[in-house]
Structure 1
Amino acid sequence: MRVLVVHNRYRSGQPSGEDRVVDRDVELLTAGGHAVERYERRSDDIAALPLAHRAAVPLLVPWNPAVRADLRARLRASAPDVVHVHNVFPLLSASVVAACADEGVPVVATLHNYLQVCPSGTLHRDGGPCRACVGRSPLPAVAHGCYRGSRIATVPLAIGHAVNRRRWWDGVDTFLCISAAQRRELVDAGMPAGKLVVRHNVVPEPAQRRAGPGEHVLFLGRLTAEKGVPLLMAAWDEIAASGGIGLPLVLAGAGPLEAQVRAWAAGRDDVRFHGLLDAGACATLTARAAAVAVPSTWLEAFGLVVVEAMAAGVPVVAAGHGAPAELVDDGVTGLLHGPGDAGSLAAALRAAVADPDRNAAMGEAGRRRYEAGFTPAAGLDALERCYREAVARGRGSGHRGRGDQGTAGRGSGRRSLPMPRVADVTVRPTSQPPSRP
């Protein structure tokens, strides 16, 4: 098949799991014999824009007409069988769906979060679950400044959420949910269940696997409140106050809480902070871990760290909600703790490393779980199946097929979607464009 992958890459200073997922899928498809092209924008490029253009970026978050025209031209030139959309924030917008509709090309969209039903994409606010905007106006998100704590920065996301919801739901042929837990949330929020298909992210065979009992407990990820960093710090302080567990806590990552974490770790023998590391260093830390902690307070849509730990034969201690509760078989491949409960997290961390034989057994079970469902081969098979179904669905709804490009012209089967109406909404540009967490 000919596949065009559409993605807005995240800032390089804050590496994203989504970028890794996109790159892995492109590698999978190419190795599988498919012709893959990319249509990408990079958030890093915003900094190089002239000041006036940079200030206007938030205005393009709900709708970017230049992207619609440019992508239409690209579709006509490359004639893909299917377009696979990932992240469109902040430089692409829902105009990519309209461009595909203009040219009659089937669309598959991977949902990496909850942006379809929540302007901030997390269903999380003030340390706990939030569904104030689900199925309603996104005004609560603006009132609470759900994006980066700023009402002004939240406005473009709220407008896009309000004016483009139906465009996404009607214009995309298949939505790929990255976990069953995510799919349940989205169906409950009103998304069309018939278009939501579960296709887990995949993890390549790790370069290193655990060969011994492990040297530390590991946290690997963005240093944010929703990732459970303050919760982990509180739980580790509780463990330290009771005498420790004989292993240090290692934290690696970057994010808004980096200064706080660095100050907390300074001068302690039981905590080591490494900051942002490359993929090879992260793989080494994972392979040497006795357990990997995933204490997220938001409903993780997947959790690459969970599967990467299982691939390396390392048990996981994770919050018992969202996708981690689906990925971790409690007591078999790892342990689940009460979401948001520091005492429960401390108890689970103690239990995970207290019995070396049990720890080893959980690591081995996690490895088997990885082999059964998260390998590249399994991921490619699922992706190909989703593409075939999307193409079939698209033809049934009026899309052109690649054999339908005769003398009638390429637009003969199009289902054009109009530009959303945002004229009655005022958006204030900011000097610093928003960037999703």
Structure 2
Amino acid sequence: MKALVVHNRYRAEQPSGENNVVDQETALLAEAGHEVRLFERRSDEIAGMSLPRKAVLPLRVPWNRAVRAELARLLRDDRPDVVHIHNTFPLLSPSVLAACADAGVPVVATLHNYTQICAPGTLYRDGHVCTDCARRAPIPAVRHGCYRGSALATVPMAASLVLNRKRWWTGVSRFFCISAAQREILVAAGMPAERLVVKHNYVDDPGKTRTGAGEHVLFLGRITAEKGAGLLMDAWDRLGGIGLPLVIAGSGPMQDEVARWADGRDDVSYLGLRSKEECRDLIARSNTVVAPSTWLETFGLVIVEAMAAGVPAVAAAHGAFGELVDDGVTGLLHEPGNADSLAARLREAAGERNQEMGLAARLVYEQEFTPKAGLDRLVGGYRAAIAAAEGAPAE
């Protein structure tokens, strides 16, 4: 089939699982013989804009007429079978939905976060899970400055949520939720259940799996409070050593704090941002991968990457992690936000059952998270959306 993928790419200097998913899926479709075209904007473009263009950018977050017109021309000339939307913030806007409606092209959208019910998309504020805006106007988000700590910066996102909610919920044939946990939250917040289906992300086979017990405990990802960076430091200090060093790789707002904490220690290494190949190698050499997120993760790409390498994970027992980690079988779950619980599970994970859990994790990967499984679910969702637009049952 012929698919058009719509995505506003996140900034290049920050690790983005969402960008990775878009790249992987478009490559997967092309390799399978489908025709794929991209309609993109990059947040990196903002730095090169003139001051006047930067000044009006917030006004275009809820609605960008120029983008609508550009996409309308592309749809008219290219006539895809389906449009797949990922992220529209900040340079595309939900105006892409209007262009698709005008062209009569069915739309699917992957929900990588909670932007349908939360202005910044995190359901997280001041160090804890927050659902204050889930079933109401996002006034609390503005009041608390939930985006970048600024009420002014939050206004365009809140406005977009209010002005475009109905357009999203009626203009998209199929929403891909990337976990059942995410779908449950969105349905409870009022999104149309019949349009939400679960489609887990997939991971390429790394081509290398762990041999032996592994060399270190690994945290890989954004260095932020919501990813549990502070919690991990607290837990590691309480642990008092398990015979393995902690390796932290990634970047983010807390990277300087993490670097200072790790400086001069024999039991901790902070590596900063690493390439994809370096990350695969770090995972394959791990005893355990740790994901102590304090927010409700919609998926857990690093957990599945660990599974693919035959490495167990220690993760917070909330959000999507509960369906990715089979507690005691493929990894261990700790009490969210509890440093003592995290420390205890890290010690347990390094014990005698570590390799057994790693082998079990690899088997689950082979059954659920391979490219073949991802392609089947993706194309199946496209076909369902096309059939719904044509008034026919999906095959």
Bigger radius of gyration among the two: 1
Instruction: Pick from 227, 243, 261 the counterpart of residue 264 of structure 1.
Output: 261
Amino acid paired to 1:11: R
Percent identity (aligned): 63
The aligned residue for residue 383 of structure 1 is 378
The aligned residue for residue 365 of structure 1 is 360
Amino acid paired to 2:251: A
Amino acid paired to 1:333: T
1:343 Cα offset (Å) = 0.4
1:316 Cα offset (Å) = 0.2
The aligned residue for residue 310 of structure 2 is 313
Query: How far apart in 2 are the matches of 1:127 and 1:47?
Result: 30
1:128 Cα offset (Å) = 1.2
The aligned residue for residue 19 of structure 1 is 19
* Closer, same or farther: CA 216–54 of 1 in aligned 2, 3 Å: same
Larger relative contact order, structure 1 or 2 (CA cutoff 8 Å, min sep 6): 1
The aligned residue for residue 277 of structure 1 is 274
Query: How far apart in 1 are the matches of 2:58 and 2:300?
Result: 29
1:152 Cα offset (Å) = 1.0
The aligned residue for residue 86 of structure 1 is 86
Query: How far apart in 2 are the matches of 1:396 and 1:121?
Result: 33
Query: How far apart in 2 are the matches of 1:264 and 1:165?
Result: 43
1:135 Cα offset (Å) = 1.2
Amino acid paired to 1:354: G
1:129 Cα offset (Å) = 1.1
| Deviations 1:32-87, CA, capped at 9 Å, x for gaps | 11000000000011111111101221111111111011100000011000000001
The aligned residue for residue 47 of structure 2 is 47
Is contact 1:199–1:383 with CA below 8 Å preserved after alignment? yes
The aligned residue for residue 123 of structure 2 is 123
Query: How far apart in 2 are the matches of 1:155 and 1:237?
Result: 40
Query: How far apart in 2 are the matches of 1:148 and 1:207?
Result: 39
The aligned residue for residue 297 of structure 1 is 294
Q: Under a length normalisation based on structure 2, what TM-score does the superposition of the two structures give? A: 0.98
The answer for unaligned runs of 5 or more in structure 2 is: none
The aligned residue for residue 69 of structure 2 is 69
Query: How far apart in 1 are the matches of 2:358 and 2:111?
Result: 29
1:207 Cα offset (Å) = 3.0
Is contact 1:335–1:352 with CA below 8 Å preserved after alignment? yes
Matches within 5 A, 1:124-163: 124-163=124-163
Query: How far apart in 2 are the matches of 1:96 and 1:202?
Result: 26
Q: How many residue pairs were aligned?
A: 392
Query: How far apart in 2 are the matches of 1:270 and 1:15?
Result: 25
Is contact 1:142–1:152 with CA below 8 Å preserved after alignment? yes
> Does 2:183 match 1:217?
no
Query: How far apart in 1 are the matches of 2:252 and 2:310?
Result: 27
> Does 2:98 match 1:98?
yes
Query: How far apart in 2 are the matches of 1:113 and 1:84?
Result: 16
> Does 2:346 match 1:349?
yes
> Does 2:179 match 1:182?
no
- Runs of 4+ in structure 1 deviating by more than 3 angstroms, as ranges, are none
Is contact 1:218–1:293 with CA below 8 Å preserved after alignment? yes
Query: How far apart in 2 are the matches of 1:148 and 1:223?
Result: 15
> Structure 1 residues 167-176 or 125-134, which shifts more?
125-134
> Does 2:29 match 1:29?
yes
Query: How far apart in 2 are the matches of 1:83 and 1:120?
Result: 24
1:395 Cα offset (Å) = 2.0
Query: How far apart in 2 are the matches of 1:123 and 1:272?
Result: 31
The aligned residue for residue 9 of structure 2 is 9
Query: How far apart in 1 are the matches of 2:242 and 2:281?
Result: 22
Is contact 1:297–1:339 with CA below 8 Å preserved after alignment? yes
1:124 Cα offset (Å) = 1.0
The answer for unaligned runs of 5 or more in structure 1 is: 398-437
1:289 Cα offset (Å) = 0.4
Query: How far apart in 2 are the matches of 1:20 and 1:385?
Result: 21
Matches within 5 A, 1:327-346: 327-346=324-343
The aligned residue for residue 285 of structure 2 is 288
Query: How far apart in 1 are the matches of 2:22 and 2:380?
Result: 17
Amino acid paired to 2:126: D
1:208 Cα offset (Å) = 1.9
| Deviations 1:8-51, CA, capped at 9 Å, x for gaps | 01100112100000011001110111000000000011111111
1:150 Cα offset (Å) = 1.1
Question: 2:350 aligns to what SS in structure 1?
Answer: helix
> What is the root-mean-square deviation in Å for CA atoms of aligned residues?
0.8
The aligned residue for residue 407 of structure 1 is none
Query: How far apart in 2 are the matches of 1:315 and 1:282?
Result: 16
Query: How far apart in 2 are the matches of 1:251 and 1:135?
Result: 37
Query: How far apart in 1 are the matches of 2:303 and 2:92?
Result: 30
The aligned residue for residue 391 of structure 2 is 396
Amino acid paired to 2:301: L
Q: Under a length normalisation based on structure 1, what TM-score does the superposition of the two structures give? A: 0.89
Query: How far apart in 2 are the matches of 1:74 and 1:308?
Result: 36
1:396 Cα offset (Å) = 2.6
Is contact 1:207–1:283 with CA below 8 Å preserved after alignment? no
> Does 2:323 match 1:326?
yes
Question: 1:369 aligns to what SS in structure 2?
Answer: helix
